[in-house]
Amino acid sequence: MRRVDAMNRDSFRQRQKILDVVRNIPPGQTASYGEVARRAGLPGRARWVARVLADNDDTLTPWHRVLRSDGRIVFPVGSASFIEQLKRLQAEGVSLQGDRVRKPPKTLDQWLWEAKS
DNA sequence: GCGGTGACTGACA
DNA sequence: CTGTCAGCCACCG
């Protein structure tokens, strides 16, 4: 088998793995590109995850549950993709503040503070 | 083969 | 909070 063939095969498997991971994100939950990459066994390759999702046309893949590491939607605010993703997230009951997904509370104080304001 | 380009990220100012 | 920067690596011309 040629080296190139082996490379293409691995590349294909990795793409599948990435898509599997994304499909396994439960509704109402989100993950960052970096997390998806790690779960797919490809630590440090967030950019590739992004590319795979961009190329992917499978409507069953919940691409909208994938956000940046800081919890924000990657697209420019107001763009068609942004609005679409926001809509899908809200439909699943994901709590958002603007373009940012509310992070899981780290401390009780922080949580209370947010609730107060 | 080489350089530019991202649906990215963590660190730092 | 915002902005910059160096890594990152598959893909494309």
Whether the CB of A75 is less than 7 Å away from nucleic strand B comes out as yes
How long is the CA A6 to C1' B2 vector, in angstroms? 24
Please tell me the least confidently modeled range out of A4-8, A59-63, A66-70, A109-113.
A109-113
A9 beta partners: none
Per-residue confidence (pLDDT) for residue A116, from 0 to 100: 43
Please report the sign of the dihedral spanned by the C-alpha atoms of residue A21, residue A33, residue A61, residue A102: positive
pLDDT at A1 over 70: no
Q: What is the dihedral of CA A11, A43, A90, A92, to 10 degrees?
A: 80
User: Of all nucleotides in the shown strands, which has a C1' nearest the CA of A36?
Assistant: B8
With a CB cutoff of 8 Å and minimum separation 6, the contacts of A105 are A111, A114
Residue with tokens 């691409």: A63
